[in-house]
Amino acid sequence: MDFQSLGLIDPLLRAVSEQGYDRPSPIQAQAIPSVLEGGDVMAAAQTGTGKTAGFTLPLLQRLEPGKPAGSRQVRALVLTPTRELAAQVGESVVEYGKYLPALRSAVVFGGVNINPQINRLRGGVDVLVATPGRLLDLYQQKAMSFDQLEILVLDEADRMLDMGFIHDIRKVLRLLPKQRQTLMFSATFSNEIRTLAKTLVRNPKEIDVSPRNSTAERVRQWVVTVDKRHKAALLTHLIGDQQWFQVLVFTRTKHGANRLAKQLENAGIEAAAIHGNKSQNARTRALAGFKSGDVRALVATDIAARGLDIDQLPQVVNFDLPNVAEDYVHRIGRTGRAGADGEAVSLVSGEDQKLLKGIERLIKQPIERRQVSNFEPPAVADIPDDREPRSRPNGSRPGSRSGNAPANKGGGQRRSAPRDADGKPAPRRRRRGGGGQRGGNGGNRASRG
């Protein structure tokens, strides 16, 4: 099968050929004809299998030639969860549409000046690629109208529909014509998200070209068990010992990304952090340095799991496992793309075991466990960072005075009760004064004013 057999027009075929592609991937072979038919589509396929071209090519063909968008009008809208993914999709629209006459497109997202984006939209665009927040900002400023909208695409639909985006997505949907074609593409669809997605489409054609939530076969996955306090040292060791020269590292938090990047820099490894609090210019510089090789380790939060397209990326490391198992699939999908080999390593401490089991249930396969010399985890559960183990003499229990003394409720050694000359328990003396006995004169704290 070739692209011509899918029904694509000559200008698109020419652009595809110049990109070096001659045969469609499985998702493209099924999605392109389905989108060209004009109905709604829900498509799931592994990351790195060409989903972007799977909707971009037929979308461009369906936009009727010679029918330019009117002033401030948008004919096709592609929504993405991250700036990086928006930029990537925007590049694909330009590349594949280069031979279509008078095609106008734009990419808008937050973190940059909004005024150039407003100016770009004044004449109308055929294809607008946007993140939800900036799109709503522009709409409120009357920078665009959706009266002529024909097609809506939700890229990485599972993330777009989770609790972080669903409210903005519903706001956007209320602005769009009810008569439209809706396309949803993603690597993962949980059952809950799949149910929600079906409320936003009409009788969609569902396409699954690989088992749901599966990982690429050419990605070699393994886990290193380690005390969480030694993860940074282990990562530094692995980068040097394994001779990793381009590694994408995922952390759970922005603060953690900054801290780890600094630790790697201090260890002599060129590193940069990329996350939502970074300015767009800083994110762009970090990504450019990583692609060129000037940055050896790019430390990222999950924003980078959706939209980083790096040719032949050899290694991905999960410094922290994600809280959502589906995000593991997207993270490691940054390597092993387009049939290349890849490697995904996860650093797992005792407290990560539950998350690891959830990931293995999702991908329906166990992940190989390994240990690295001098980084073996302790036999007991990890101790929180802000506490140190207490030394206990002779293995005694807490509260005992020595290793051989039994512990009691008071935490000290049990004393014998006083006895009289006949061996009988002696009567206890009542303590005088106000200091000692609760309820005595002046001794009760509550009576001190």
Residue 338 lies in a domain: yes
pLDDT of residue 448: 35
User: Are 99 and 137 within one domain?
Assistant: yes
User: Are 242 and 180 within one domain?
Assistant: no
Which domain covers residue 305, as residue numbers? 219-370
User: Are 132 and 162 within one domain?
Assistant: yes
pLDDT of residue 157: 84
Residue 246 lies in a domain: yes
CATH number at residue 169: 3.40.50.300
Give the contacts of 95 (CB within 8 A, at least 6 positions apart): 15, 19
User: Are 148 and 75 within one domain?
Assistant: yes
pLDDT of residue 65: 74
Q: Per 3-state DSSP, what percentage of the chain is helix, strand, and coil (rounded to 5)? A: 35, 15, 50
Residue 248 lies in a domain: yes
pLDDT of residue 238: 96
Structural domain ending residue among the three candidates 174, 208, 242: 208
Structural domain ending residue among the three candidates 168, 183, 208: 208
Give the contacts of 169 (CB within 8 A, at least 6 positions apart): 79, 132, 154, 160, 161
User: Are 230 and 200 within one domain?
Assistant: no
Residue 400 lies in a domain: no
Amino acid at 370: R
Check the CA dihedral 269-306-242-318 and report its sign. Answer: positive
Residue 448 lies in a domain: no
Residue 361 lies in a domain: yes
Beta bridge partners of 346: 223, 318
- Please state whether the predicted TM-score (pTM) of the whole model is above 0.85: no
- What DSSP line would sit under 13-32, residue for residue? HHHHHHTT--S--HHHHHHH
- Domain total for the chain? 2
User: Are 48 and 181 within one domain?
Assistant: yes
User: Are 126 and 25 within one domain?
Assistant: yes
Residue 293 lies in a domain: yes
The answer to whether 83 and 280 have CB atoms below 8 angstroms apart is: yes
User: Are 175 and 223 within one domain?
Assistant: no
The answer to whether 331 and 322 have CB atoms below 8 angstroms apart is: yes
pLDDT of residue 378: 72
Residue 443 lies in a domain: no
Structural domain ending residue among the three candidates 168, 189, 208: 208
User: Are 185 and 328 within one domain?
Assistant: no
User: Are 204 and 223 within one domain?
Assistant: no
User: Are 196 and 277 within one domain?
Assistant: no
Amino acid at 301: T
User: Are 359 and 239 within one domain?
Assistant: yes
Q: Which residue has the tokens 């990931």?
A: 359
Q: Which residue has the tokens 């797992």?
A: 348
Across the 449 residues of the chain, what is the mean pLDDT of every consecutive 10-residue run? 92 92 90 96 82 95 84 96 89 94 92 94 96 96 96 88 81 95 86 81 87 65 94 96 93 93 96 86 87 92 68 88 87 75 92 94 92 80 41 40 39 45 49 42 38
